Copies of this chain bind each other. A is one copy, B any other.
Amino acid sequence: MSLSAQDFLTDFHHTATIGATANGGVDRQAGTAKDGEIRSWFRDWGTERGYPVRVDSIGNMFMLAEWTPGVPFVLVGSHLDSQPLAGRFDGAYGVVAAMHVLREIDAEVQASGEKPSYNLGVVNWFNEEGARFAPSIMGSSVFVGLMNEQDTLSVSDSSGTRVGEALEGIGFLGTDPRPEVATYAEIHIEQGRILEREGIPLGTVDRSWYTQKLDIEVLGEQSHTGATSMADRRDALVAASKIVVMVNEVTEDFEEDTLLSSVGQMHIEPNSPIVVPRRVHLVADLRSDSQEIVQAARATLLEKFDVLAADHRVEVNVEDFDVRPPRHFQESGLELVEKLMADKGLDTRRIRTRAGHDAVALSTQVPSVLLFVPSVDGVSHCEREFTEDEDLVTGLDALTEVARALVDGALQD
């Protein structure tokens, strides 16, 4: 293994020590102290090596090699925030790989004295995960104009702290200008089993799934668990529990794995062992490659919720939330990756992503490339998420090739 690959692995494994959890994962939710700590590490890494780091007004960080002043940047990166009790690879891999791409290409530029057509920057997008502050993919969505910055800064976490306050609290509510972006590249673990099963080291993402959430509020009446007759109850938690089961079972109306659903978050009021709950707030997640399937499932659920509300004498309020149409990555980017990898003799395959990524947001504005490396058992958003060092390094080399082509003007003609 090359020295530069070893350096990359050293830096990557170092990130896992920031917010490390008991079982080998990390917990660095956006805007928390641990997010602040890894951001400081990212900034110091850049400035120590002579790359200025800008922070914009939604907390995105840009580490820049501005070889030619005034020329737009190829941005490469991902996110350093994580889910609670998350794996070490999701996001961090893409950022640390991008840092080493920058170092490698900058060394080549310094050695040759020849300036590429575009400048190069590494980006750490704010709050890709959407765990503490919903929805996800915040920083990159504000960057490309899919989300309004002021509204986003006002989003509150469950304890009432706003995005703006949290960023200010960790010292990362910046005022720097955003770099002008020419093209974008990102590498990520697959979060699925396709590459592992097929033994292919690199995937190139052609499109994302249609996804949407339902923000659901169930309103019952608070009462004493011991003193209230069963017939007199308006139990918000019993009704909400049936909703969780309905959201799970609606997938059975469709072919296997054409629809994915879940309820991951639920808040119960007042949440005391001796009180029948008055209110439950929950978020359901529906995803499919087909918009029609998500919409059919949504319609089925809304009908069932109406019947449930009447049966249980509760109110069920539902709002569509975080609706994301499928996005196609540019064909030119897919072909570029395929050509470059064929030249290296590396197998690739086109792949769809069910999960959201910053690259999906970027692709709405500039030509963008999203690469996947294999992930053991396809598990993610959990502490046992794992990718082999060898696969990480193969991905780093691929990303370096792509970035080299991009700074030389590929996808710009």
Could you list which residues of chain A lie within 8 angstroms of chain B, going by C-beta atoms? 83-85, 129-131, 134-136, 190-192, 209, 211, 213, 221-233, 235, 237-238, 240-242, 244-245, 248, 251, 256-257, 260-278, 283, 285, 287, 354-356, 378-383
Q: Closest chain B residue to A136 by CB distance? A: B274
A238, B233: Cα distance in complex, Å: 23
A290, B190: Cα distance in complex, Å: 56
A27, B334: Cα distance in complex, Å: 59
User: Counting chain B CB atoms within 10 Å of each CB, which of A240, A241, A278 scores highest?
Assistant: A241
The 7 A-B residue pairs with the shortest CB-CB distance in the complex, in nearest-first order: A84-B270, A191-B227, A222-B382, A241-B241, A241-B244, A131-B272, A225-B262
Known contacts A221-B379, A222-B381; can you find 13 more A-B pairs with CB under 8 A?
A: A83-B274, A84-B272, A85-B278, A131-B270, A209-B226, A211-B226, A224-B380, A226-B260, A227-B378, A227-B380, A228-B380, A229-B256, A273-B283
* Residues from chain B with Cβ under 8 Å of A134 in the complex: 273
- Across the interface, do A270 and B83 meet the contact criterion of CB distance under 8 Å? yes
- Across the interface, do A226 and B275 meet the contact criterion of CB distance under 8 Å? no
- Across the interface, do B248 and A264 meet the contact criterion of CB distance under 8 Å? no
* Residues from chain B with Cβ under 8 Å of A276 in the complex: 262, 264, 381
A231, B378: Cα distance in complex, Å: 13
Q: Closest chain B residue to A262 by CB distance? A: B225
* Residues from chain B with Cβ under 8 Å of A287 in the complex: 225-226
Given contact pairs A238-B244, A382-B221, A192 touches B227 in the complex (Cβ within 8 A): yes
- Across the interface, do A222 and B383 meet the contact criterion of CB distance under 8 Å? yes
* Residues from chain B with Cβ under 8 Å of A136 in the complex: 273-274
A83, B228: Cα distance in complex, Å: 15
- Across the interface, do A272 and B83 meet the contact criterion of CB distance under 8 Å? yes
- Across the interface, do A235 and B262 meet the contact criterion of CB distance under 8 Å? yes
Q: Closest chain B residue to A213 by CB distance? A: B273
Q: Closest chain B residue to A257 by CB distance? A: B229
A269, B382: Cα distance in complex, Å: 11
A206, B12: Cα distance in complex, Å: 69
User: Counting chain B CB atoms within 10 Å of each CB, which of A190, A267, A378, A381 scores highest?
Assistant: A381
* Residues from chain B with Cβ under 8 Å of A129 in the complex: 272, 274
Given contact pairs A379-B228, A381-B223, A264 touches B275 in the complex (Cβ within 8 A): yes
Sample (25) of A-B pairs whose CB atoms are under 8 Å apart: A83-B270, A85-B278, A131-B273, A131-B275, A134-B273, A221-B379, A223-B381, A223-B382, A224-B381, A224-B382, A225-B264, A225-B287, A225-B381, A226-B260, A226-B285, A229-B257, A235-B262, A237-B263, A240-B241, A241-B242, A241-B244, A264-B273, A265-B273, A274-B381, A275-B381
Q: Closest chain B residue to A233 by CB distance? A: B262
- Across the interface, do B354 and A226 meet the contact criterion of CB distance under 8 Å? yes
* Residues from chain B with Cβ under 8 Å of A356 in the complex: 226
Output the least CB separation between A32 and chain B (Å): 13
A251, B232: Cα distance in complex, Å: 14
* Residues from chain B with Cβ under 8 Å of A226 in the complex: 191, 209, 211, 260, 285, 287, 354-356
* Residues from chain B with Cβ under 8 Å of A244 in the complex: 237-238, 241
Output the least CB separation between A156 and chain B (Å): 14
Output the least CB separation between A227 and chain B (Å): 4
Given contact pairs A130-B273, A266-B271, A355 touches B242 in the complex (Cβ within 8 A): no
A274, B194: Cα distance in complex, Å: 21
* Residues from chain B with Cβ under 8 Å of A228 in the complex: 260, 378-380
Q: Which one, B245, B268, B285, contacts A238 given CB within 8 A? A: B245
A257, B256: Cα distance in complex, Å: 42
A356, B274: Cα distance in complex, Å: 10
